[in-house]
């Protein structure tokens, strides 16, 4: 989370249009094993502690969270909401975004909701007994979420999206 990628910002002479907003999608395994081992609590705490370290000079950085076991758990955070709403997608054979908007949020505008969600994430899944793992479908959903956030702001296409796994 802290030093996985080094990026250099190109000066205006090298860019045709303004850059897309940064979109961070955190995929968190919320299966029984992950909860019992403390991985969910550690991941949520680490993300929470590092929100201020995410690059956000222009104030446009967006964040989304997707939990997964044998289903996908999206968190909708509409502007002005006091807490996130969990949307469950159990059909992982044909991955889709359950709601086109409010799945990725601006860090500045939804900071309180993000902090609340991350602090409650472990408790939300503490009674989960599902041992499955839909990692592949969650990666597909994360990609679709990044593409939809990019398209929403600049009319970008799939070719404009760069995904880095570190």
Can you tell me the distance from the alpha carbon of 89 to that of 73, in angstroms, rounded to the nearest whole number?
6
Count Cβ atoms below 10 Å from residue 71 Cβ, excluding itself.
17
Tens-digit pLDDT profile for residues 138-155:
999 999 998 887 666 544
Please classify residue 164 by burial: count the beta carbons closer than 10 Å to its beta carbon, then call 0-12 exposed, 13-18 middle and 19+ buried: exposed
Question: In terms of C-beta density within 10 A (0-12 exposed, 13-18 middle, 19 or more buried), how is residue 104 classed?
Answer: buried
Give dist(CA 102, CA 61) in Å, integer.
14
pLDDT tens-digit map of 43-85: 999 999 999 888 888 888 999 999 999 999 999 988 778 888 9
**When comparing pLDDT for 103 and 7, which is higher?**
103
Measured CA to CA, the distance from residue 152 to residue 159 in angstroms comes to 15
pLDDT-derived band at 164, boundaries 50, 70, 90:
very low
Burial of 122 (0-12, 13-18, 19+ CB in 10 A): buried
Per-residue pLDDT at 91 exceeds 70: yes
């Amino acid at each position: 989370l802290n030093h996985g990628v080094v990026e250099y910002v190109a000066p205006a002479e090298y860019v045709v249009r303004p850059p897309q907003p940064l979109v961070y999608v955190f995929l968190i395994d919320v299966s029984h094993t992950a909860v019992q081992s403390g991985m969910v609590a550690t991941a949520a705490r680490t993300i929470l502690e590092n929100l201020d370290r995410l690059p956000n000079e222009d104030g446009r950085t967006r964040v989304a969270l997707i939990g997964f076991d044998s289903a996908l758990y999206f968190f909708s955070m509409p502007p002005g909401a006091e807490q996130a709403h969990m949307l469950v997608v159990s059909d992982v054979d044909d991955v889709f975004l359950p709601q086109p908007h409010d799945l990725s949020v601006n860090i500045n505008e939804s900071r309180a909701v993000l902090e609340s969600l991350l602090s409650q994430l472990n408790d939300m899944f503490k009674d989960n007994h599902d041992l499955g793992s839909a990692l592949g479908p969650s990666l597909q959903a994360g990609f679709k979420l990044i593409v939809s956030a990019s398209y929403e702001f600049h009319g970008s296409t799939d070719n404009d999206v760069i995904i880095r796994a570190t």
